[in-house]
């Protein structure tokens, strides 16, 4: 895998499936277990939905995947101008609980001032 793979789509719900498919394709090429691929696909879906609801004026939804030696990091963000990020309800909402259960680490971040979510999943050791 390249050091990082990035893709951007229009910030509309009907394009989230493209980000899910990119994650599945890249994770499949890394020969990750099916469960890991499914977890990351669902986590990207949840993160995207949360970001789109937080910044409905966004025009772009972006994803970056970075494979490190022992984990896969996925960043999802929009170009929305959201003053309150993270939102007050943040980690108490259902989306956050889902993200926490699907990944090893989920973090609310700002990327160049824009709202984002960082997802991390440990990679199994190959034997």
**Which DSSP state fits 33?**
-
- Of 99, 97, 91, 93, the closest CA to residue 39 belongs to 99
Q: Which domains does the chain have, with CATH numbers?
A: 5-122 (3.30.565.10)
pLDDT in tens, 55-105: 889 999 999 999 887 889 999 999 998 888 877 665 567 888 899 999 999
Q: What is the pTM of this model?
A: 0.90
First to last CA, the chain: 19
126 pLDDT exceeds 70? no
Tokens of 121: 């999943």
């Amino acid at each position: 895998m390249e050091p990082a793979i990035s893709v951007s789509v229009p910030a509309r719900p009907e394009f989230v499936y493209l980000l899910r498919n990119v994650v599945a394709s890249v994770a499949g090429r890394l020969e990750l277990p099916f469960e890991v691929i499914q977890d990351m696909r669902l986590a990207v879906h949840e993160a995207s939905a949360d970001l789109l609801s937080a910044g409905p004026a966004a025009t772009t939804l972006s994803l970056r995947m970075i494979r490190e030696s022992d984990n896969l990091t996925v960043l999802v963000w929009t170009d929305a101008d959201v003053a309150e990020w993270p939102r007050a309800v943040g980690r108490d909402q259902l989306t956050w609980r889902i993200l926490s259960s699907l990944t090893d680490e989920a973090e609310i971040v700002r990327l160049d001032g824009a709202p984002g979510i960082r997802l991390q999943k440990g990679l199994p050791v190959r034997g």
